[in-house]
Amino acid sequence: MAIPERDDGGRRVVPSRLDGLSPPYLLRVDAPAGYLYSVSADGLRTTTINVTTLTDLATRVWFTVYGATSLDAVFTNPSGIAFPTSTQIEDVEALIDGVFALWLADAGIDGSTNNLISTPFRRTARASTRYSSRRRSTAG
């Protein structure tokens, strides 16, 4: 098990303690309401893998379509289920980009040049404020 650490830029990173493992990687992080998941979007051993509510959605969609009834069970015992290829992840990521295109553009994210899974990003005050105000305005 690898525990995320903070790098010099304040980002959480998983150290390169992946001896014996090869991509694709399935990541899980603790969240207030359970877990968030993400998968590697490429076949590289050293890569960026963002874990957000949108990567969680994309990951859950893919595994559900391909027969997983519980992503927690897949994470605990990954044998017996096929993991997505880079091309399949790109397809799901493109679908998510299309569904959320207006929201992403409003947050200053260009879906044509940014991959929600593998493009490094920093949460900015502007994006956080826009996201929070949008959540408040659509919740009630």
Q: CA-CA distance, 85 to 103, in Å (whole number)?
A: 27
Q: Which ranges of the chain does DSSP label H, i.e. alpha helix? A: 53-65, 71-76, 86-99, 101-106, 125-139
Residue 87 CA from chain centroid, whole number = 15
Burial of residue 48 (CB within 10 Å: 0-12, 13-18, 19+) is: middle
Asked whether the whole model's pTM tops 0.75, one would answer no
Q: State the 10-residue block means of pLDDT for the chain, 140 residues long.
A: 61 62 82 87 78 86 86 86 83 80 82 78 51 39
